[in-house]
């Protein structure tokens, strides 16, 4: 039997057929088949059981089963480099020279088109690092490069270096002369081309290129003086992105390689059989033509080039455009004690958390995980997870702590301050009972609700219960793009930008991570997470408790990225409590203290976290933006007659004008503004509008208006700027202004910068709003010409019917309102007024239509000369934007034939 069984496993033994031994063979065969079937059945049952176990473990998140399955899949940090395993090669050049004083810290970027990919990448990198820049399309004349005796730009960047080489002689000589005189360097990129060049010389330079190559294994020149942020000594192993790289070969000592790579093929073997390193980024020391340059053989797709680009800006600007090497680093772990059974952290996870924290603290001085807790869910897991809760509390002192909501409720769902405070007190009492510190002054609201868009009850409750002085969110301005995240201060609470690291509540297992481990590693090894830390001096990262159980992706991610930063940069990481981080942040960026309120109605996520008693219908559709003394009040009264239009409620201090976007009122917040536009279901009005004449020349107003009302239509009224200035002077004089009553109009408008401040202030209010082209261009930076309607103030005064009909067409308001039945000219006032009670008219107040003495001839001539360049620019602006009819007052001011008696 044993022999027969062995024979069955062989292939060389031939058995007799059943014809020779029918009974004996049939029994044997039957037994063998039964044994084989039994084995197959057992094997199938085992496989099926394993499949069921895996499915069940994933659905129920059983800690016992997931522990068994995860042992071989949980990722462990595997970053290895010289700083950890050997001596570190450190290049930490300061780059500062006296030449930095000769130009401003700003970058001039020449792009091929406004939509070109590399140009956008360059601009986004500069925005992320808060470096000032100006974009110019190549092919046009070189912009003005100097301001008095100082250069306007510290570095010049060409998206396509060939465009620099092919400039016409006039512009090329102008640009090169500027670079030499002001010690300004040039950064250029060699863009991909369909045609392959081998040993082609760059026009006018002793350097040759070979393009369209596939490369791998990049390394840096450790001796280069350019390196500052970037650390040399490592190799970026593997294929480099793209197959269109350019390499350089030079025959002049002015060139020095900054980066090398090797061909990703079988060519370029040297005598020793190894591949020859090929220069992919080179530095031009300026020995050939006295201009320093850095030239890249590829764009910014390769992460290392982003570091080298920042270092090149620093080096070529003589330290003006250097980023600090100090980075603050904090990791919040939200939702402590919150989570479904099977997803929470267990005792082993807590021990791993503590052990990893100790390793991170050795690399990041002062580092502690910052735990945000919701006490209601303490001990809401299974037995193993409850032990994890207990172990966290046994190690309270090892972490820092902050408050979430007691029941993880979104604060914007509370309309009652008392109930909101009661919820917070439950969490505070829980903390006191368990010994958790309650004095951090930091809190984060679940889902960032109430932080942005702001919910004033949240800020009030935070102050009263927790004395919150700092919070953080990634919702301002929005989750994406991360480069635009900024901080702000509201109701004395500092709101810091909070960064995401690619981990969310659902990213618990590496095999389920979107894109797998390769995608997460991409973010860590030079990708988005790595770049976030490099670009931002202060980093607060958001994670969740579930990221530290299960596959412990939080531990893997942060330990890996910190090691990678130490491998490739000279950045010095440290940590600090949130209050200290906030104080440092607003010292670095004091200009960010004032918020910019965005429109929640344009963002589904923001709508979800907006207070439920707010409505998108309570935002104005139209704005009358001024300027003052041009007829804006008259226009306001005419618009208010329309049954489909409703103005804001009056302000107790500024009457019909809210003056929100240009005044301290802006800091009162969005709720304050929207209270002027109550939703009235009984009203027939379909559209809200607002008129504040001071908006027109407000420097910050266009940006603020566009952020909150990006689709608003804008209406402005223009009259002769000379007449407007004189009218403003007479207006202030009539209202008892001491300066206006003590100085003549001519004295005011001709006051010098050495005059008393109060006199200069009045001069500026008279003159500055009349620089129409300058202010309109600022508005057109944010709004298209199609969204702006410019009214001739003289036409509005003399023929309001035609003007209002055109305005209704622009606003697309239905039904069309017949103003001829509602307006009539009043000879006593000298303008059109509202018809009331049949034959009577209701006019504007006494201050409107006031008769002034004529303007002096010398003042008129002075103002015509003063506004000549501005009026000329205004004509060009009108023509550029398709406005064919030039107002008569503008023609008159430019012709210098204005009748002074009209003033």
Annotated binding residues for 3'-phosphoadenylyl sulfate, written as ranges, equal: 727, 848-852
629, 691, 733, 771: the active-site residue: 629
Continuous segment of H or E residues that includes residue 806: helix 800-811
443: left (phi over 0), alpha (psi -120 to 50) or beta: beta
Cβ proximity of 537 and 527 under 8 Å: no
Read off the DSSP letter of residue 635: H
Helix (H) or strand (E) holding 29: helix 22-60
Please report the beta strands in 361-484, taking only residues with DSSP state E, as ranges in sequence order.
370-373, 400-403, 470-473
Q: Taking the CB of residue 112, how many other CB atoms lie within 10 A of it? A: 18
The number of beta carbons lying within 10 Å of the beta carbon of residue 253 is 10
Element (H, E) at 108: strand 107-111
**Strands, E, within 643-686: which ranges?**
645-647
Residue burial 83-111, b: 16+ Cβ < 10 Å; e: rest: beeeeeeebebebeeebbebbebbbbbbb
Count Cα neighbours of 242 within 13 Å in the Cβ-side half-sphere.
16
DSSP labels, 532-564: HHHH-SEEEEEEEGGGTSTT-HHHHHHHHHHHH
Cα–Cα distance measured from residue 814 to residue 686, given in angstroms and rounded to the nearest whole number: 10
Greatest distance between any 2 Cα atoms in the chain: 138
Report which secondary-structure segment, H or E, holds 788.
Answer: strand 788-792
- Contact between 343 and 549 under an 8 Å Cβ cutoff? The reply is yes
DSSP structural state of residue 621: S
Binding-site sequence positions: 727, 848-852
DSSP letter assigned to residue 142: P
**Cα radius of gyration (the chain):** 36
User: What span, in angstroms and rounded, lies between the C-alpha atoms of 631 and 836?
Assistant: 21
Helix (H), strand (E) counts: the chain:
30, 31
Beta bridge partners of 295: 188, 282
Closest CA to 70 of 559, 510, 560: 510
Answer yes or no: are the C-beta atoms of 765 and 757 closer than 8 Å.
no
What tokens appear for 41 in the block? 């059945």
User: Residue 606 in contact with residue 478, Cβ under 8 Å?
Assistant: yes
Cα–Cα nearest to 371, from 443, 426, 420? 443
CA-CA-CA-CA torsion sign (563, 566, 569, 571): positive
Instruction: Give the whole-angstrom CA distance, residue 712 versus residue 35.
Output: 82
Q: What is the dihedral angle through the alpha carbons of 133, 137, 141, 145, rounded to the nearest 10 degrees?
A: 10
Q: Is 703 a catalytic residue?
A: no
Tell me which residues are annotated as active site: 629
């Amino acid at each position: 039997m044993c022999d027969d069984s062995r024979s069955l496993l062989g292939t060389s033994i031939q058995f007799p057929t059943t014809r020779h031994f029918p009974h004996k063979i049939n029994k044997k065969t039957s037994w063998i088949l039964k044994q084989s079937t039994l084995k197959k059945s057992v094997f199938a049952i085992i496989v099926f059981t394993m499949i069921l176990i895996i499915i069940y473990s994933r659905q129920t998140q059983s800690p016992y089963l997931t522990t068994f399955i995860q042992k071989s899949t949980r990722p462990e940090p595997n970053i290895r480099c010289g700083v950890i395993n050997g001596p570190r090669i450190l290049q930490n050049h300061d780059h500062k020279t006296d030449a930095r004083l000769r130009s401003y810290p700003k970058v001039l970027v020449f792009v091929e088109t406004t939509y070109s990919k590399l140009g956008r990448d360059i601009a986004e990198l500069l925005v992320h690092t808060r470096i000032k820049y100006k974009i110019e399309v190549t092919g046009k004349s070189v912009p003005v490069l100097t301001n008095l005796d100082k250069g306007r730009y510290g570095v010049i960047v060409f998206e396509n270096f060939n465009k620099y080489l092919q400039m016409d002689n006039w512009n090329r000589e102008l640009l090169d002369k500027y670079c030499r005189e002001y010690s300004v360097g040039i950064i250029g990129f060699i863009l991909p081309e369909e045609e392959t060049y081998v040993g082609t010389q760059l026009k006018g330079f002793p350097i040759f290129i070979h393009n369209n190559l596939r490369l791998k294994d990049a390394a840096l020149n450790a001796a280069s003086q350019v390196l500052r942020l970037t650390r040399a000594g490592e190799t970026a192993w593997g294929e480099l992105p793209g197959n269109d790289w350019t390499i350089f070969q030079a025959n002049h000592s002015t060139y020095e390689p900054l980066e090398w790579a090797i061909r990703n093929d079988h060519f370029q073997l040297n005598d020793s059989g190894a591949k020859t390193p090929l220069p992919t980024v080179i530095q031009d020391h300026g020995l050939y033509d006295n201009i320093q340059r850095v030239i890249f053989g590829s764009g910014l797709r390769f992460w290392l080039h982003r570091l080298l680009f920042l270092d090149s800006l620093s080096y070529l600007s003589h330290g003006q455009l250097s980023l600090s090497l100090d980075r603050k680093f904090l990791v919040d772990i939200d939702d402590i004690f919150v989570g479904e059974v099977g997803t929470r952290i267990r005792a082993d996870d807590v021990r791993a958390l503590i052990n990893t924290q100790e390793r991170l603290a050795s690399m990041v001085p002062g580092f502690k995980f910052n735990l945000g807790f919701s006490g209601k869910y303490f001990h809401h897991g299974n037995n193993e997870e409850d032990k994890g809760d207990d172990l966290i509390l046994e190690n309270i002192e090892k972490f820092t702590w902050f408050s979430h909501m007691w029941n993880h409720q979104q604060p914007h769902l509370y309309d009652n301050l008392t109930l909101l405070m009661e919820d917070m007190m439950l969490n505070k009492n829980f903390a006191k009972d368990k010994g958790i510190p309650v004095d951090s002054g930091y809190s984060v609201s679940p889902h960032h609700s109430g932080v942005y868009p702001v919910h004033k009850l949240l800020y009030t409750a935070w102050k009263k219960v927790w004395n919150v002085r700092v919070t953080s969110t990634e919702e301002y301005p929005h989750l994406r793009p991360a480069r635009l995240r900024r901080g702000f201060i509201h109701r004395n609470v500092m709101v810091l930008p909070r960064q995401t690291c690619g981990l969310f509540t659902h990213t618990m297992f590496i095999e389920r991570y979107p894109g797998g481990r390769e995608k997460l590693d991409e973010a860590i090894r030079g990708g988005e997470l790595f770049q976030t830390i490099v670009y931002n001096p202060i980093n607060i990262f958001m994670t969740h408790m579930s990221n530290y159980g299960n596959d412990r992706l939080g531990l893997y991610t942060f330990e890996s990225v910190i090691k990678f930063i130490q491998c490739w940069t000279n950045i010095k990481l440290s940590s600090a409590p949130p209050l200290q981080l906030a104080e440092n942040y607003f010292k670095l960026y004091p200009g960010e203290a004032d918020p910019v309120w965005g429109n929640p109605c344009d963002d589904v996520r923001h709508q979800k976290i907006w207070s439920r008693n707010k409505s998108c219908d309570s935002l104005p559709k139209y704005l009358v933006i001024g300027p003052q003394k041009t007829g804006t009040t008259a226009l306001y009264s005419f618009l208010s007659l329309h049954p489909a239009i409703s103005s804001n409620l009056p302000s107790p201090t500024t009457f019909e004008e809210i003056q929100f976007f240009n005044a301290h009122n802006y800091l009162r917040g969005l709720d304050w503004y929207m209270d002027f536009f109550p939703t009235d279901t009984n009203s027939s009005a379909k559209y809200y509008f607002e008129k504040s004449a001071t908006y027109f020349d407000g420097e910050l107003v266009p940006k603020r208006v566009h952020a909150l009302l990006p689709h608003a239509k804008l209406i402005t009224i223009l009259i002769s700027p000379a007449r407007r200035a004189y009218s403003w002077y007479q207006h202030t004089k009539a209202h008892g202004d001491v300066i206006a009553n003590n100085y003549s109009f001519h004295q005011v408008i001709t006051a010098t910068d050495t005059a008393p401040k109060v006199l200069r202030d009045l001069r500026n209010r008279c003159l500055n709003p009349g620089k129409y082209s300058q202010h309109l261009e600022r508005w057109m930076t944010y709004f298209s010409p199609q969204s702006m309607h410019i009214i001739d103030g003289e036409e509005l005064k003399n023929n309001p019917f035609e003007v209002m009909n055109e305005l209704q067409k622009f606003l697309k308001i239905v039904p069309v309102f017949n103003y001829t039945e509602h307006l009539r000219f009043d000879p006593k006032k000298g303008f059109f007024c509202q018809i009331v009670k049949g034959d009577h008219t209701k006019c504007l107040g006494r201050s409107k239509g006031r008769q002034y003495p004529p303007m002096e001839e010398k003042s008129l001539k002075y103002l015509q000369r003063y506004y000549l360049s501005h009026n000329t620019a205004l004509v060009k602006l009108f023509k550029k934007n398709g406005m064919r009819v030039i107002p008569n007052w503008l023609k008159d001011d430019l012709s210098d034939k204005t009748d002074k008696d009209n003033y």
